[in-house]
Amino acid sequence: MASIEVQGLTKRFGDVLAVDDLSFTAHEGTVTGFLGPNGAGKTTTLRIVLGLVRPSSGRALVNGRPYDELPDAMRVVGAVLESSGFHPARTARDHLRSIAMVDGIPVRRVDEVLETVGLAADARRRVGGYSMGMRQRLELARALLGDPEVLILDEPANGLDPQGIAWLRGFLRWYASLGRVVLISSHLLAEAAQTVDEVIVVNHGRMAGAGSLTELRARQGGSVRVRALDPDRLAGLLADAGFAVRRQGEEVVEATGTTAESVGRLMAEHGVVVLEMTTEGESLEELFFEMTAGRAPDGLVRAGPNGAAGAKAEVGTA
């Protein structure tokens, strides 16, 4: 079964602790978002998974093996990295051919992936004349050469126009639906939210939280404010239902950790007369800030005390 498994990964660059005892698993059939602000250690982690950077301790496995022990690595893992480059004088097609040859991938496949990313018409142009978006597409084409079971993309939306982003989103959903592992990093949760099933949030190299997007959305609910004819009774009902309740003035009851729908159903069930109801939504982005500020919302797996050892999250459909 295809998977990416990171176990107790730590990477120190001199005095800087870039990755701090990070553990997670990305499973097949899901798009996993690897999220965190810039400098959180996302790229370093991905580079360790890809054998480009050596961990100080811990390990990263793809399908149970370290990257450099994979036979024909490109046929197992495809990766799009920001720092990857091109020789400007080489054509896109030749660039891909030079790489495809290493794992014995036929030229036919090179033309196929160029078609997939929409570069077929420009395949014989020198990469030096490519726009940022075209280079990004060419990077994706390279990653797809080996028709890999595992796709890793570092900030894939960078450099793409809105159209390109929409296309990429659809592509990644489709790729995961084939039962493959897709891991994408992003510093924008709202952007990734439209693509991912699972999220792993890192901050300062440590796990800040992890879970499914559905869980996240459930937690993002924020609060529901209700002005009712009988606020005391309403407050009691909400409290009995397990929501955190706070009184605001004479008539208003505020319930957090729930949704307007749940509150509405509850009130209908008990015949409470509602005068006014508003929701104070917390955006995914706010939630993300909260998590990366060191506080993980309830219900999500979070780092241990002081982010120390034992930070471990299982993500995905096991």
Partner 1 sequence: MIRLVRAEVFKLRTVWSTWLMLGITALLVIFVTGLTASVSPDRRAVTSFPARGSAAWLDIVFSGMTVAVYLAIVLGAVMITGEHRHKTITPTFLAEPRRGRTVAAKLVVALGGGLVVAVVAGFVALGVGLVLVGVGVAPLGAVLTEYRHVWPGVAAACVLYGAYGVGLGALLKNQVVTIVVALVAIAIVEPIIGLVAPAAARWLPGSAAQALESLAANARSHAAFGGSGGVHLVVWWVGALLLVGYGVVLAALGSLTTLRADVT
CA atoms within 13 A on the CB side of 258: 23
Segment 182 to 241, residues that bind partner 1, using CB under 8 A = none
Minimum distance of partner 1 from residue 139's CB (angstroms): 8
CA distance 222 to 63: 39
One residue of 1, 16, 57, 85 binding partner 1 per CB under 8 A: 85
CA distance 144 to 281: 39
> What are the DSSP E strand ranges found in the chain?
3-13, 16-27, 31-35, 57-62, 77-80, 150-154, 181-186, 198-203, 206-212, 223-228, 244-248, 252-256, 274-280, 313-314
One residue of 57, 98, 131, 278 binding partner 1 per CB under 8 A: 98
Any contact of residue 68 with partner 1 (CB under 8 A)? yes
By CB under 8 A, which span of 81-89, 155-163, 178-186, 229-237 interacts with partner 1?
A: 81-89
By CB under 8 A, which span of 69-77, 228-236, 242-250, 305-313 interacts with partner 1?
A: 69-77
Torsion, CA 82, CA 124, CA 121, CA 167, rounded to 10: -10
CA distance 110 to 128: 19
Residue 234 is classified by DSSP as: H
By CB under 8 A, which span of 77-85, 114-122, 280-288, 291-299 interacts with partner 1?
A: 77-85
In contact, 291 and 210? CB cutoff 8 Å = no
Cβ closest to partner 1, residue 87 vs residue 265: 87
Any contact of residue 121 with partner 1 (CB under 8 A)? no
Cβ closest to partner 1, residue 101 vs residue 293: 101
CA distance 314 to 189: 19
Cβ closest to partner 1, residue 52 vs residue 218: 52
Any contact of residue 90 with partner 1 (CB under 8 A)? yes
Minimum distance of partner 1 from residue 136's CB (angstroms): 14
One residue of 4, 6, 49, 70 binding partner 1 per CB under 8 A: 70
Minimum distance of partner 1 from residue 169's CB (angstroms): 24
Any contact of residue 101 with partner 1 (CB under 8 A)? yes
Any contact of residue 89 with partner 1 (CB under 8 A)? yes
Residue 277's nearest CA partner among 302, 244, 253 is 253
Task: Give the total of residues touching partner 1 (CB under 8 A).
Answer: 33
Residue 243, SS3 per DSSP = coil
Minimum distance of partner 1 from residue 124's CB (angstroms): 11
Any contact of residue 1 with partner 1 (CB under 8 A)? no
Residue 276, SS3 per DSSP = strand
Cβ closest to partner 1, residue 17 vs residue 52: 52
By CB under 8 A, which span of 93-101, 174-182, 188-196, 202-210 interacts with partner 1?
A: 93-101
Minimum distance of partner 1 from residue 208's CB (angstroms): 23
Q: Which two tokens stand for residue 70?
A: 């994979």
Residue 193, SS3 per DSSP = helix
Quick one: residue 177, left, alpha or beta (phi over 0 = left, psi -120 to 50 = alpha)?
Answer: alpha
One residue of 4, 26, 81, 189 binding partner 1 per CB under 8 A: 81
CA distance 55 to 57: 5
Residue type, 119: L
Any contact of residue 141 with partner 1 (CB under 8 A)? no
The site for partner 1 (CB under 8 A) is made up of 47, 50-54, 67-68, 70, 73-74, 77, 79, 81, 83-91, 94-95, 97-99, 101-104, 142
